[in-house]
Amino acid sequence: MNRLTPSTRKVVRFLALLTAAFVLAACADNAPLDTRGDNLQGPEARDIESFLRWVLWIAYAVFFAVLGVTLYAWKNFRIKTEDYEDDEFPEQISHNNTLEIAWTAAPAILLAIIAIFTIGLHQSLNSNSENPITLDVADGAGGATTVEWEPEIVVVGQQWWWEYQYHFGDVDLVAQRVETLPNADITTATQMVIPVGMEIELEITSRDVIHSHWIPSLNGKRDAVPGRQSAPWKIQADEPGVYFGQCTEFCGLSHSRMRMQVVALPEAEFQEWVTAQMQGLELSPETAAYVAELEAGATVPPANAEQRAIDTFRTKCASCHVLDGVTDGIVARPEEQLVSGAAPNLTHFATRTTFAGGIRNVYETDTGEFNRNDIAQWLRDPASIKANFTEPVSETDSRLRGMPNLGLTTEEVDDLVSLLEMTAPQEGEFEMFEFIIEETGVE
Amino acid sequence: MSVTENTDVAHDHVVDDHHDDHPSDSSYVLIALGLAFLTAVEVGLFVLEDWIGDNFGLGSVKIALVALMIIKFWIVGAYFMHLKFDNPILTQLFVFGLVLALVVYFIMLSAFEFSFWNDGLEDQGLPGGIS
Amino acid sequence: MAIIDRPLAIGAGDDAVETVDRPLGSITRPQESGTWRDWLTTVDHKKIGIMYGAAAMFFFVIGGAEALLIRLQLATPNGTLLSPEVYNQVFTMHGVTMIFLVAMPMGAAFANYLLPLQIGARDVAFPRLNALSFWVFLFGGLFLNSAWLLGGGADGGWFNYAPNSTVTFSPSHGIDFYALGLQITGVASLVGAINLITTVLNMRPKGMTLMRMPIFTWMNLVVQFLLLFAVPVISVALFELTFDRLFDANFFNTEAGADPLLWQHLFWIFGHPEVYILILPSFGIVSEVIPVFSRKPIFGYSFMVASGVAIGFMGWGVWAHHMFVSGIGPISVAAFSLSTMFIAVPTGVKILNWLATIWGGKLRFNTAMLFAVGVVSMFTIGGLSGVTHSIAPADTQQTDTYYIVAHFHYVIFGGTLLGFFSGFYFWWPKMFGYKLNEKLGKTNFWLQIVGFNVTFGPMHILGLQGMSRRIDTYDAGFGFEFWNLVATVGAFIIALGIAFFFVNVAVSRRQWIAAGKPNPGPDPWDARSLEWMTASPTPIHNFDEEITVDAPDEFWHRKYGYDTEGNVVRKATAEEVAQDGSNTNVHLPSPSYFPILLALSMPIISYGLIYSLWLCIPGGMLLVYSMVGWIFEHPDDPNAAHDDHGHDDHGDAPDELAAGDDEGELVGVGAGAPETEATNG
Amino acid sequence: MASATVAVGHGADHGHEEHETNYGMSNNKMAMWLFLSSDCLLFGALISTFLLYRTNISDGTVFTEPADVFDIPFTSLSSFVLLMSSLTMVLALSAVKRGDERNGRIWLLTTAFLGMVFIGGQVYEFTIFSAEGLQYSTNTWTSAFFTLTGFHGVHVSVGILLLMGTVFGTRNSGLGKEKSEAVELVGLYWHFVDIVWVIIFTVIYLIPIG
Ligand code: HEA
Ligand code: HEA
Ligand code: CUA
Ligand SMILES: [Cu+2]
pLDDT of C677 above 80? no
Ligand 4 centroid from CA C340, angstroms: 8
Ligand 2 near C626 CB (within 6 A): no
> What is the domain range of residue A290?
285-439
Of the candidates C457, C481, C514, which is a domain's last residue?
Answer: C514
Q: Is the pLDDT at C477 greater than 70, yes or no?
A: yes
- How many separate domains does chain A show? 1
Q: Could you say which residues from 227 to 286 on chain C have a Cβ atom under 8 Å away from some Cβ of chain D? A: 228-233, 235-237, 239-240, 243-244, 247-251, 253, 255-259, 262, 266
> Residues C297, C355: contact at Cβ < 8 Å?
no
Q: Is the CB of D206 less than 8 angstroms away from the CB of B90?
A: no
Q: Say whether pLDDT at C447 is over 90.
A: yes
Is D40–B105 a contact, with Cβ atoms under 8 angstroms apart? no
Give the distance (Å) from ligand 2 centre to CA of residue C157: 13
Contact A227 B131 (CB under 8 A): no
Residue A386 in contact with residue A359, Cβ under 8 Å?
A: yes
Whether the per-residue pLDDT at C122 is higher than 80: the answer is yes
Question: How far away is chain D from the Cα of C204, in angstroms, using its nearest Cα?
Answer: 7
CA atoms of A30 and A37, how far apart (whole Å): 11
Q: Which atom of ligand 1 is nearest to the CA of C412?
A: 1
C421 Cβ below 6 A of ligand 2: no
| Any ligand 2 atom below 6 A from CB of C574 | no
User: Which of C411, C456, C460 for a ligand 1 pocket mutation test, highest count of atoms within 8 Å of Cβ?
Assistant: C411
**CA dist D193 to D83, D155, D157, D197, Å?**
10, 7, 10, 6
Please determine, for residue C279, whether its predicted confidence score (pLDDT) is greater than 60: yes
> Do C506 and C607 lie in a common domain?
no
Smallest CA–CA distance from A230 into chain B, residue: B131
Neighbour subunits, B (≥3 Cβ pairs < 8 A): A, C, D
Distance, CA of D96 to chain centre: 20
At D170, is the pLDDT very low, low, confident or very high (cuts 50, 70, 90)?
confident
Which chains sit next to A, with 3 or more Cβ pairs under 8 A?
B, C
B-D C-beta contacts closer than 8 Å = 172
Residue C602 and residue C663 in one domain? no
Residue where a domain stops, chosen among C469, C497, C514: C514
Where residue C276 falls among pLDDT bands split at 50, 70, 90? very high
pLDDT of C92 > 90? The answer is yes
| pLDDT surpassing 80 at residue A7 | no
CA–CA separation, B118 and C648 (whole Å): 56
* Phi, psi (degrees; rounded to nearest 5) at C425: -65, -35
Confidence grade of residue A301 (pLDDT, cut at 50, 70, 90): confident
Indicate whether C450 pLDDT > 70: yes
Q: Does A228 touch chain B (CB under 8 A)?
A: yes
In this structure, the answer to whether residues C137 and C97 fall within a common structural domain is yes
Residue A438 has pLDDT above 60, yes or no: yes
pLDDT, position C17: 37
Q: Do C201 and D22 touch (CB under 8 A)?
A: yes
The bridge status of strand A259-265 relative to strand A191-195 is parallel
Burial class (CB in 10 A: 0-12, 13-18, 19+), A165: buried
Q: What is the DSSP string of C320-371?
A: GGGGTTTT--HHHHHHHHHHHHTTHHHHHHHHHHHHHHHTTS-B---HHHHH
Average pLDDT estimate for A117-126: 93
Each residue's pLDDT tens digit, B9-64:
333 333 334 444 577 888 899 999 999 999 999 888 888 776 665 566 556 788 88
Between D177 and C601, residue with greater pLDDT: C601
Interface of D with C in 178-197 (CB under 8 A): 178-179, 181-182, 185-186, 189
Domain ranges of chain B: 23-116
Rounded CA separation C318/C329 (Å): 15
Assess whether pLDDT exceeds 70 at residue D107: yes
Q: What would the pLDDT profile of C386-438 be if each residue is shown by its tens digit?
A: 999 999 999 999 999 999 999 999 999 999 999 999 999 999 999 999 999 99
The whole-number pLDDT of residue A303 equals: 83
> Which structural domain, as residue segments, surrounds residue C614?
595-632
Share of chain C above pLDDT 90, in %: 72
pLDDT given for residue A138 in this prediction: 82
Confidence at residue C125, expressed as pLDDT on a 0 to 100 scale: 92
C641 in the same domain as C605: no
| pTM, full prediction | 0.91
Reply yes or no on whether the pLDDT at A14 is more than 90.
no
Lowest mean pLDDT among C450-454, C462-466, C654-658, D114-118: C654-658
C244 and C356 in one domain? yes
Residue C546 included in any domain: no
Alpha-carbon separation of residue C428 from C166, C502, C530 (angstroms): 45, 13, 16
Question: Poorest-confidence range of A53-62, A322-331, C412-421?
Answer: A322-331
> Which residues are within 8 A (CB) of C318 and not within 5 positions of it... i.e. 6 or more apart?
C272, C336, C339, C340, C343
Q: Are strands A222-224 and A133-138 parallel, antiparallel or unpaired?
A: unpaired
Q: Could you tell me which chain D residue has the CA closest to the CA of B67?
A: D202
Give the mutation candidate from D71, D94, D100 for the B interface (greatest B CB count, under 10 A).
Answer: D94
The string of DSSP codes covering C178-244 is HHHHHHHHHHHHHHHHHHHHHHHHH---TT--GGGS-HHHHHHHHHHHHHHHHHHHHHHHHHHHHHH
CATH class held by domain D27-206:
mainly alpha
pLDDT for A25 equals 56
Q: Examine the pLDDT at C23 and tell me if it is beyond 60.
A: no
Question: What's the rounded mean pLDDT across residues A24-36?
Answer: 72
pLDDT at C265: 96
The HSE-up count of residue C219 (CA atoms within 13 Å, CB side) is: 29
Check residue C657 and give its pLDDT: 32
Least CB–CB distance from B128: residue in C229, C259, C680: C259
| Average pLDDT of the segment spanning A88-112 | 92
CATH assignment at residue A362 = 1.10.760.10
What residues of C are in contact with residue B111 (Cβ under 8 Å)? 261, 265, 320, 328-329, 332
Q: Are residues C484 and C613 in the same domain?
A: no
Residue to mutate among B113, B123, B126, B130, with most A CBs inside 10 A, is B126
CA of A230 vs chain B CAs: smallest distance (Å): 9
- Considering only CA atoms, which residue is closest to atom 8 of ligand 2? C67
Is the backbone of residue C274 left (phi > 0), alpha (psi -120 to 50) or beta?
alpha
Q: From the alpha carbon of C96, which atom of ligand 2 is closest?
A: 17
Contacts (Cβ under 8 Å, ≥6 apart) of C293: C361, C363, C364, C365, C366, C368, C369, C372, C525
H or E stretch at A372: helix A372-380
Pair A295, A273: CB distance under 8 Å: no
Region of poorest pLDDT, from C130-134, C205-209, C276-280: C205-209
Judged by a CB distance cut-off of 8 A, whether residue B124 touches chain A is no
State the average pLDDT over residues A317-321: 86
pLDDT recorded at residue B86: 86
Final residue belonging to a domain, choices C458, C482, C514: C514
pLDDT band at A339 (very low <50, low <70, confident <90, very high): confident
Is pLDDT larger for residue D89 or for residue B4? Answer: D89
pLDDT at A89 over 50: yes
Q: How remote is the CA of residue C406 from the centroid of ligand 2, in Å?
A: 11
φ, ψ for residue C238, nearest 5 deg = -70, -40
Report yes or no: C570 and A92 within 8 Å, Cβ to Cβ. Answer: no
Q: Is C276 in the pocket of ligand 2 (CB under 6 A)?
A: no
B120 in A contact zone (CB under 8 Å)? no
Ligand 2 atom showing the smallest separation from residue C60 Cα = 49
A259 CA distance to ligand 3 middle (Å): 8
> Average pLDDT, stretch D3-8?
31
pLDDT for B116 equals 53
pLDDT value at C467 more than 50: yes
pLDDT at A430 over 80: no
Shared-domain flag, residues C137 and C165: yes
Q: Give the pLDDT of residue B50.
A: 67
- Pocket residue to mutate for ligand 1, from A35, A57, A62, most atoms within 8 A of Cβ: A62
Residue boundaries of the structural domains of chain D: 27-206
Ligand 4 centroid – CA C271 distance (Å) = 7
Are C284 and C240 contained in the same domain? yes
Count interface pairs A-B at CB distance under 8 A.
Answer: 12
Q: How far is the CA of A232 from the centre of ligand 3 (A)?
A: 19
In total, how many domains does chain C have?
3
Instruction: Judge contact between D11 and D17, C-beta under 8 A.
Output: yes
Stretch A53-74: mean pLDDT: 95
pLDDT of residue A4: 55
- Whether C216 contacts C288, CB under 8 Å: yes
Spatial contact of C212 and C649, defined as CB atoms under 8 Å apart: no
Query: Please, what is the end-to-end C-alpha distance for chain A in angstroms?
Result: 45
**Which residues 90-119 of D are in CB contact (within 8 Å) with C?**
none
Q: Is residue A421 part of a domain?
A: yes
User: C198, C261, C326: best mutation site toward chain B, by most B Cβ within 10 Å?
Assistant: C261
- How many angstroms is it from C407 CA to the middle of ligand 1? 7
Residues of chain B with C-beta less than 8 angstroms from the C-beta of A228 = 126, 130
C360–A248 CB contact, under 8 Å: no
Express each pLDDT in C132-186 by its tens digit: 999 999 999 999 999 999 988 999 999 999 899 999 899 889 999 999 999 999 9
Angstroms from B55 CA to nearest CA on chain D:
16
User: For residue C385, which ligand has an atom nearest its CA?
Assistant: 1
pLDDT tens, position by position, A392-413: 888 888 888 888 888 899 999 9
pLDDT digit string, tens, across residues B108-126? 998 886 655 444 333 434 3
Tell whether D130 lies on the interface with C, counting CB pairs under 8 A.
no
Reported as type and span, the H/E element at residue D82 is: helix D72-97
Q: Which of C376, C397, C526 lies at the smallest CB-CB distance from A70?
A: C376
**Disruptive mutation site among A178, A228, A230 for chain B (greatest number of B CBs within 10 Å):** A228
Confidence of residue A265 (pLDDT cuts 50, 70, 90): very high
For the Cβ of C250 lying below 6 angstroms from any atom of ligand 1, the answer is no
